[in-house]
Amino acid sequence: MIGFGYDIHRLERDKTLVLGGITIPWEKGTVAHSDGDAALHAVCDALLGAAMLGDIGTHFPDSSPEFAGISSLELLRRVVGLVREKNYTLINIDVTIVLERPKIAQYIPRMRDAIEPIINTTSNPATTASTYISIKATTNEGLGGVGAGDAVAAFAVAQIERMDRTK
């Protein structure tokens, strides 16, 4: 099963920028009910979609005080739990973060390190866990809100597999 996720958040001065589960020092950060991690929100939606479990807003509504300021790593942990309850295992996630500034390529290894223990992809002893997690960064070439530095967007795909195919 394959799922797709997308998220976008406005950027404002004096807010915290969290992407891929880590805080990135920058003059702007996301405006959001949770920590505003567009990358992990896209991953959550991709996983939920692949498992046919709806979307992140269904499970963690931004109208709920319970999720105010919540870490997206915790949201991912809960989503992985929901996916596993349906007897799926994660095969691969691929994330593209679209952000004009700051340049974030140097943070990608830390993002993978933050995500890997949650998705627990160490089931294949022939490879390292991070080989299942692809994170890429790009810009919007100065176009639109993302290109103007007013937003960050992320796209993700996830591949999962049912452990018991007889169900």
pLDDT tens-digit series, residues 7-53: 999 999 999 999 999 999 999 999 999 999 999 999 999 999 999 99
Q: Is the pLDDT of residue 124 over 50?
A: no
Mean pLDDT of the chain: 91
Residue 149: count of CB within 10 angstroms of its CB? 17
Q: What is the pLDDT of residue 109?
A: 96
Mean pLDDT of 148-161: 97
pLDDT at 125: 44
Q: What is the distance in angstroms between the CA of the first residue and the CA of the last residue of the chain?
A: 14
**pLDDT score recorded for residue 54:** 97
**Cα 100–chain centre separation:** 18
Residue range 68-85: mean pLDDT, rounded: 95
Q: Residue 106: its pLDDT value, please? A: 97
User: Could you tell me whether strands 133-138 and 88-98 are parallel, antiparallel, or unpaired per DSSP bridges?
Assistant: parallel
- Paired tokens of 95: 């994330």
- Edge to edge, the sheet with strand 2-13 lists 28-30, 2-13, 151-162, 88-98, 133-138
C-alpha 83/C-alpha 165 separation (Å) is: 15
Q: Which domains does the chain have, with CATH numbers?
A: 2-162 (3.30.1330.50)
